[in-house]
A = this chain, B = another copy of it.
Amino acid sequence: MTRVLILGGGGMVGQKLATKLEAEGLPGLGDLHLTLHDIAFPNGGAGTDRRVGNLANPAEVAALAAERFDLIFFLASIVSGEAEIDFDKGWQTNLWPMWGFLEGLRAQHRATGGIYVPRLIFTSSIAVFGGPYPDKIDDDFLQSPQTSYGAQKAACELLVQDFSRKGFIDGMSLRLPTICVRPGKANMAASSFFSGIIREPLAGQRAVLPVADTVRHWHASPRAAAGFLAHAATLDTARLEGRRALNLPGLSCTVAEQIEALRDAAGNEAVALIDPQPDPHIARIVEGWPRNFAPERAKALGFVAEQSFDEIVAIYMEEDMPKG
Protein backbone atom coordinates (compact mmCIF):
# COMPACT_ATOMS: atom_id res chain seq x y z
CA MET A 1 0.00 0.00 0.00
CA THR A 2 1.17 3.51 -0.81
CA ARG A 3 0.33 6.21 1.71
CA VAL A 4 -0.49 9.50 0.04
CA LEU A 5 -0.89 12.92 1.66
CA ILE A 6 -2.56 15.83 -0.12
CA LEU A 7 -1.85 19.13 1.64
CA GLY A 8 -4.57 21.46 0.45
CA GLY A 9 -6.74 18.42 -0.22
CA GLY A 10 -9.94 20.36 0.41
CA GLY A 11 -9.32 22.81 -2.40
CA MET A 12 -10.54 22.51 -5.94
CA VAL A 13 -7.41 20.94 -7.43
CA GLY A 14 -6.87 18.79 -4.32
CA GLN A 15 -10.37 17.38 -4.61
CA LYS A 16 -9.98 16.82 -8.33
CA LEU A 17 -6.71 14.96 -7.72
CA ALA A 18 -8.16 12.87 -4.87
CA THR A 19 -11.14 11.90 -7.03
CA LYS A 20 -8.80 10.83 -9.81
CA LEU A 21 -6.55 8.84 -7.48
CA GLU A 22 -9.55 7.13 -5.85
CA ALA A 23 -10.87 6.13 -9.25
CA GLU A 24 -7.67 5.22 -11.08
CA GLY A 25 -4.86 4.74 -8.58
CA LEU A 26 -1.31 5.29 -9.78
CA PRO A 27 0.71 2.94 -11.99
CA GLY A 28 2.97 0.64 -10.00
CA LEU A 29 1.97 2.01 -6.57
CA GLY A 30 -0.63 -0.63 -5.63
CA ASP A 31 -3.48 0.32 -3.31
CA LEU A 32 -3.43 3.95 -2.27
CA HIS A 33 -4.41 5.23 1.15
CA LEU A 34 -5.28 8.90 0.73
CA THR A 35 -4.99 11.40 3.57
CA LEU A 36 -6.29 14.88 2.84
CA HIS A 37 -5.32 17.89 4.95
CA ASP A 38 -6.84 21.35 4.69
CA ILE A 39 -8.38 24.16 6.72
CA ALA A 40 -11.81 23.11 5.44
CA PHE A 41 -13.46 20.54 3.20
CA PRO A 42 -16.48 20.61 0.95
CA ASN A 43 -19.52 18.60 1.94
CA GLY A 44 -19.23 15.33 0.09
CA GLY A 45 -16.45 15.07 -2.44
CA ALA A 46 -13.32 12.96 -2.33
CA GLY A 47 -11.37 11.68 0.63
CA THR A 48 -12.39 9.64 3.67
CA ASP A 49 -9.28 10.27 5.81
CA ARG A 50 -9.73 14.02 6.13
CA ARG A 51 -7.70 16.11 8.56
CA VAL A 52 -8.89 19.60 9.35
CA GLY A 53 -6.00 21.77 10.49
CA ASN A 54 -3.72 24.64 9.68
CA LEU A 55 -0.16 24.51 8.36
CA ALA A 56 0.47 27.86 10.06
CA ASN A 57 0.92 25.71 13.18
CA PRO A 58 4.52 24.42 13.17
CA ALA A 59 3.73 21.54 15.53
CA GLU A 60 1.03 20.33 13.19
CA VAL A 61 3.40 20.55 10.23
CA ALA A 62 6.02 18.51 12.09
CA ALA A 63 3.43 15.93 13.14
CA LEU A 64 2.28 15.47 9.56
CA ALA A 65 5.86 15.06 8.38
CA ALA A 66 6.42 12.45 11.11
CA GLU A 67 3.78 10.18 9.60
CA ARG A 68 6.23 9.31 6.83
CA PHE A 69 3.87 9.38 3.88
CA ASP A 70 5.29 7.80 0.74
CA LEU A 71 3.94 10.42 -1.62
CA ILE A 72 3.03 13.99 -0.80
CA PHE A 73 1.21 16.53 -2.92
CA PHE A 74 1.86 20.01 -1.52
CA LEU A 75 -0.99 22.15 -2.86
CA ALA A 76 -1.74 24.27 0.25
CA SER A 77 -1.46 27.99 -0.49
CA ILE A 78 -3.31 31.24 -0.31
CA VAL A 79 -4.07 32.74 -3.69
CA SER A 80 -2.30 35.55 -5.53
CA GLY A 81 -4.74 38.38 -4.82
CA GLU A 82 -4.80 37.67 -1.10
CA ALA A 83 -1.00 37.30 -0.87
CA GLU A 84 -0.64 40.65 -2.62
CA ILE A 85 -3.00 42.43 -0.24
CA ASP A 86 -1.75 40.76 2.97
CA PHE A 87 2.05 40.64 2.79
CA ASP A 88 2.45 38.95 6.18
CA LYS A 89 -0.13 36.29 5.59
CA GLY A 90 1.29 35.57 2.14
CA TRP A 91 4.79 34.78 3.35
CA GLN A 92 3.59 33.06 6.52
CA THR A 93 1.23 30.81 4.58
CA ASN A 94 3.00 30.27 1.28
CA LEU A 95 6.63 29.89 2.37
CA TRP A 96 7.20 29.00 6.02
CA PRO A 97 5.00 25.87 6.16
CA MET A 98 6.98 24.49 3.23
CA TRP A 99 10.22 25.07 5.13
CA GLY A 100 8.82 23.49 8.29
CA PHE A 101 7.43 20.52 6.42
CA LEU A 102 10.67 19.89 4.50
CA GLU A 103 12.64 20.13 7.73
CA GLY A 104 10.22 17.60 9.22
CA LEU A 105 10.77 15.25 6.29
CA ARG A 106 14.52 15.67 6.64
CA ALA A 107 14.27 14.73 10.33
CA GLN A 108 12.50 11.50 9.27
CA HIS A 109 15.13 10.92 6.60
CA ARG A 110 17.81 11.13 9.29
CA ALA A 111 15.82 9.05 11.77
CA THR A 112 15.60 6.20 9.22
CA GLY A 113 19.29 6.34 8.42
CA GLY A 114 18.56 7.89 5.04
CA ILE A 115 16.05 5.25 3.91
CA TYR A 116 12.99 7.52 3.99
CA VAL A 117 13.01 9.72 0.86
CA PRO A 118 9.42 10.65 0.03
CA ARG A 119 8.25 11.86 -3.35
CA LEU A 120 6.93 15.41 -2.99
CA ILE A 121 5.04 17.22 -5.74
CA PHE A 122 4.67 20.96 -5.19
CA THR A 123 2.18 23.05 -7.13
CA SER A 124 4.13 26.11 -8.18
CA SER A 125 2.82 28.64 -10.64
CA ILE A 126 3.64 30.58 -13.78
CA ALA A 127 3.56 33.58 -11.41
CA VAL A 128 7.26 32.86 -10.76
CA PHE A 129 7.85 34.72 -14.03
CA GLY A 130 7.84 38.44 -14.68
CA GLY A 131 8.02 40.52 -17.82
CA PRO A 132 9.29 41.60 -20.19
CA TYR A 133 8.65 38.27 -21.88
CA PRO A 134 9.67 36.70 -25.16
CA ASP A 135 6.75 35.61 -27.39
CA LYS A 136 7.02 32.16 -25.86
CA ILE A 137 8.69 31.53 -22.54
CA ASP A 138 11.13 28.66 -22.94
CA ASP A 139 12.47 26.30 -20.31
CA ASP A 140 15.57 28.44 -19.67
CA PHE A 141 13.76 31.69 -18.84
CA LEU A 142 14.58 33.44 -15.57
CA GLN A 143 12.30 33.61 -12.55
CA SER A 144 11.55 37.26 -11.79
CA PRO A 145 8.23 37.30 -9.96
CA GLN A 146 6.23 40.53 -9.89
CA THR A 147 3.85 39.44 -7.14
CA SER A 148 4.44 38.22 -3.60
CA TYR A 149 2.62 35.01 -4.52
CA GLY A 150 5.08 34.42 -7.35
CA ALA A 151 8.06 35.18 -5.11
CA GLN A 152 6.76 32.74 -2.49
CA LYS A 153 6.26 30.00 -5.08
CA ALA A 154 9.75 30.62 -6.50
CA ALA A 155 11.27 30.45 -3.00
CA CYS A 156 9.49 27.14 -2.32
CA GLU A 157 10.87 25.80 -5.60
CA LEU A 158 14.39 26.59 -4.39
CA LEU A 159 13.75 24.67 -1.17
CA VAL A 160 12.28 21.68 -3.01
CA GLN A 161 15.26 21.75 -5.35
CA ASP A 162 17.88 21.89 -2.62
CA PHE A 163 16.29 19.31 -0.31
CA SER A 164 15.98 17.01 -3.34
CA ARG A 165 19.54 17.62 -4.52
CA LYS A 166 20.76 16.61 -1.07
CA GLY A 167 18.66 13.44 -1.24
CA PHE A 168 16.37 14.23 1.71
CA ILE A 169 13.29 14.13 -0.51
CA ASP A 170 12.58 13.34 -4.15
CA GLY A 171 10.76 16.51 -5.09
CA MET A 172 9.38 18.33 -8.06
CA SER A 173 7.75 21.70 -8.61
CA LEU A 174 5.06 21.97 -11.28
CA ARG A 175 4.42 25.47 -12.58
CA LEU A 176 0.73 25.13 -13.23
CA PRO A 177 -0.94 27.25 -15.87
CA THR A 178 -3.97 29.18 -14.69
CA ILE A 179 -6.59 26.55 -13.99
CA CYS A 180 -9.70 27.21 -16.02
CA VAL A 181 -12.65 26.70 -15.84
CA ARG A 182 -12.62 26.54 -12.05
CA PRO A 183 -15.92 25.24 -10.67
CA GLY A 184 -17.56 26.83 -7.65
CA LYS A 185 -17.33 30.43 -6.61
CA ALA A 186 -14.98 33.23 -7.55
CA ASN A 187 -11.97 33.49 -5.22
CA MET A 188 -9.41 36.16 -4.41
CA ALA A 189 -7.00 34.97 -7.07
CA ALA A 190 -6.38 37.82 -9.49
CA SER A 191 -6.93 35.20 -12.19
CA SER A 192 -10.40 34.33 -10.93
CA PHE A 193 -12.20 36.16 -13.74
CA PHE A 194 -10.68 33.88 -16.42
CA SER A 195 -13.02 31.20 -15.07
CA GLY A 196 -15.82 33.54 -14.03
CA ILE A 197 -16.50 34.77 -17.56
CA ILE A 198 -17.24 31.20 -18.65
CA ARG A 199 -18.72 29.67 -15.50
CA GLU A 200 -21.18 32.40 -14.56
CA PRO A 201 -22.73 32.87 -18.03
CA LEU A 202 -23.12 29.10 -18.36
CA ALA A 203 -25.15 29.27 -15.13
CA GLY A 204 -27.21 32.17 -16.51
CA GLN A 205 -25.47 34.67 -14.24
CA ARG A 206 -23.64 37.90 -15.02
CA ALA A 207 -19.82 37.92 -14.88
CA VAL A 208 -17.38 40.79 -14.54
CA LEU A 209 -14.48 41.08 -16.99
CA PRO A 210 -11.90 43.35 -15.30
CA VAL A 211 -9.36 43.41 -18.17
CA ALA A 212 -9.35 44.06 -21.92
CA ASP A 213 -10.36 41.13 -24.14
CA THR A 214 -6.99 41.36 -25.86
CA VAL A 215 -5.31 39.93 -22.75
CA ARG A 216 -3.58 36.67 -23.64
CA HIS A 217 -3.01 34.05 -20.99
CA TRP A 218 -1.97 30.45 -20.36
CA HIS A 219 -4.62 27.95 -19.29
CA ALA A 220 -5.22 24.31 -18.43
CA SER A 221 -8.33 22.56 -17.17
CA PRO A 222 -8.78 21.15 -13.66
CA ARG A 223 -8.71 17.71 -15.30
CA ALA A 224 -5.32 18.51 -16.84
CA ALA A 225 -4.06 19.79 -13.47
CA ALA A 226 -4.98 16.53 -11.76
CA GLY A 227 -3.35 14.72 -14.67
CA PHE A 228 -0.11 16.70 -14.26
CA LEU A 229 0.06 15.85 -10.57
CA ALA A 230 -0.66 12.17 -11.08
CA HIS A 231 1.89 11.99 -13.91
CA ALA A 232 4.56 13.64 -11.74
CA ALA A 233 3.92 11.16 -8.91
CA THR A 234 5.51 8.27 -10.77
CA LEU A 235 7.87 10.09 -13.12
CA ASP A 236 11.53 9.03 -13.09
CA THR A 237 12.98 12.17 -11.52
CA ALA A 238 16.46 11.34 -12.84
CA ARG A 239 15.05 12.58 -16.16
CA LEU A 240 14.79 16.06 -14.64
CA GLU A 241 18.61 16.26 -14.64
CA GLY A 242 18.73 18.41 -11.52
CA ARG A 243 16.19 21.00 -12.65
CA ARG A 244 13.22 20.11 -10.54
CA ALA A 245 10.90 22.95 -11.48
CA LEU A 246 8.96 22.43 -14.69
CA ASN A 247 6.94 24.69 -16.98
CA LEU A 248 3.89 22.64 -17.90
CA PRO A 249 1.96 22.44 -21.14
CA GLY A 250 -1.12 24.62 -21.46
CA LEU A 251 -3.21 26.55 -23.91
CA SER A 252 -2.38 30.14 -24.87
CA CYS A 253 -5.42 32.18 -25.84
CA THR A 254 -6.90 35.67 -25.52
CA VAL A 255 -9.96 36.60 -23.49
CA ALA A 256 -11.67 37.27 -26.84
CA GLU A 257 -10.93 33.66 -27.85
CA GLN A 258 -12.31 32.45 -24.54
CA ILE A 259 -15.48 34.44 -25.22
CA GLU A 260 -15.78 32.92 -28.70
CA ALA A 261 -15.52 29.45 -27.16
CA LEU A 262 -18.32 30.40 -24.78
CA ARG A 263 -20.37 31.62 -27.75
CA ASP A 264 -19.78 28.32 -29.57
CA ALA A 265 -20.92 26.39 -26.52
CA ALA A 266 -23.81 28.52 -25.23
CA GLY A 267 -24.65 31.23 -27.77
CA ASN A 268 -24.86 34.99 -27.83
CA GLU A 269 -27.15 35.19 -24.81
CA ALA A 270 -24.39 33.68 -22.63
CA VAL A 271 -21.79 36.11 -24.01
CA ALA A 272 -24.17 39.02 -23.32
CA LEU A 273 -23.91 38.22 -19.60
CA ILE A 274 -20.26 39.35 -19.52
CA ASP A 275 -19.85 42.90 -18.15
CA PRO A 276 -16.58 44.64 -18.97
CA GLN A 277 -15.63 46.58 -15.83
CA PRO A 278 -11.95 47.54 -15.94
CA ASP A 279 -10.21 47.03 -12.58
CA PRO A 280 -6.77 48.66 -12.47
CA HIS A 281 -5.61 46.51 -9.51
CA ILE A 282 -6.41 43.25 -11.34
CA ALA A 283 -5.23 44.61 -14.68
CA ARG A 284 -1.86 45.60 -13.24
CA ILE A 285 -1.28 42.13 -11.76
CA VAL A 286 -2.43 40.28 -14.88
CA GLU A 287 -0.36 42.53 -17.15
CA GLY A 288 2.74 41.10 -15.50
CA TRP A 289 1.74 37.50 -16.18
CA PRO A 290 3.03 35.17 -18.88
CA ARG A 291 1.03 34.79 -22.06
CA ASN A 292 2.59 31.83 -23.81
CA PHE A 293 5.17 29.08 -23.30
CA ALA A 294 7.26 26.56 -25.18
CA PRO A 295 7.32 23.86 -22.47
CA GLU A 296 9.51 21.39 -24.34
CA ARG A 297 10.91 19.63 -21.29
CA ALA A 298 7.50 18.87 -19.81
CA LYS A 299 6.16 17.68 -23.16
CA ALA A 300 9.13 15.36 -23.57
CA LEU A 301 8.42 14.04 -20.08
CA GLY A 302 4.87 13.16 -21.08
CA PHE A 303 2.81 15.96 -19.53
CA VAL A 304 -0.32 16.73 -21.59
CA ALA A 305 -2.81 19.62 -21.64
CA GLU A 306 -5.70 20.80 -23.82
CA GLN A 307 -5.36 21.90 -27.45
CA SER A 308 -8.19 24.47 -27.62
CA PHE A 309 -10.32 26.58 -25.32
CA ASP A 310 -13.40 24.86 -26.79
CA GLU A 311 -12.02 21.68 -25.25
CA ILE A 312 -11.56 23.43 -21.89
CA VAL A 313 -15.18 24.64 -21.96
CA ALA A 314 -16.38 21.15 -22.90
CA ILE A 315 -14.47 19.60 -19.98
CA TYR A 316 -16.11 22.07 -17.61
CA MET A 317 -19.59 21.35 -18.97
CA GLU A 318 -19.03 17.60 -18.84
CA GLU A 319 -17.21 17.26 -15.54
CA ASP A 320 -17.65 20.27 -13.29
CA MET A 321 -20.71 22.30 -14.20
CA PRO A 322 -23.56 21.92 -11.69
CA LYS A 323 -26.26 19.90 -13.39
CA GLY A 324 -29.42 22.02 -13.36
Contacts and interface: CB of A to CB of B under 8 A. Distances in A.
Interface of A: 87, 130, 132, 134, 139-146, 148, 151, 154-155, 158-159, 161-162, 165-166, 241-243, 245
A143 B242 CA distance: 12
B151 A162 contact: yes
B161 A145 contact: yes
A126 to B, nearest CB: 13
A36 to B, nearest CB: 29
Contacts of A141: 140, 142
Contacts of A158: 143, 145, 151, 154-155, 158
A130 B166 contact: no
A130 B243 contact: yes
Contact of A142 (B140, B145, B159): B140
Given A151-B159, A155-B155, 20 more contacts: A130-B242, A132-B241, A134-B140, A139-B142, A140-B140, A140-B141, A140-B142, A142-B243, A143-B143, A143-B158, A144-B242, A144-B243, A145-B158, A145-B161, A146-B242, A148-B166, A151-B161, A151-B162, A155-B159, A158-B158
B162 A148 contact: yes
A203 to B, nearest CB: 37
A151 B158 CA distance: 6
A183 to B, nearest CB: 31
Contact of A87 (B132, B146, B161, B166): B166
A226 to B, nearest CB: 27
A242 B145 CA distance: 9
A102 to B, nearest CB: 10
B146 A143 contact: no
A141 B142 CA distance: 5
A140 B87 CA distance: 27
Contacts of A245: 144
Contacts of A166: 87, 148
A120 to B, nearest CB: 16
A155 to B, nearest CB: 5
A76 B242 CA distance: 28
29 contacts: A87-B166, A130-B242, A130-B243, A132-B241, A134-B140, A139-B142, A140-B140, A140-B142, A141-B142, A142-B142, A142-B243, A143-B158, A144-B161, A144-B242, A144-B243, A144-B245, A145-B161, A146-B165, A146-B242, A148-B162, A151-B158, A151-B159, A151-B161, A151-B162, A154-B158, A155-B155, A155-B158, A155-B159, A158-B158
Nearest to A84: B166
Contacts of A154: 158
A213 to B, nearest CB: 26
Contacts of A146: 165, 242
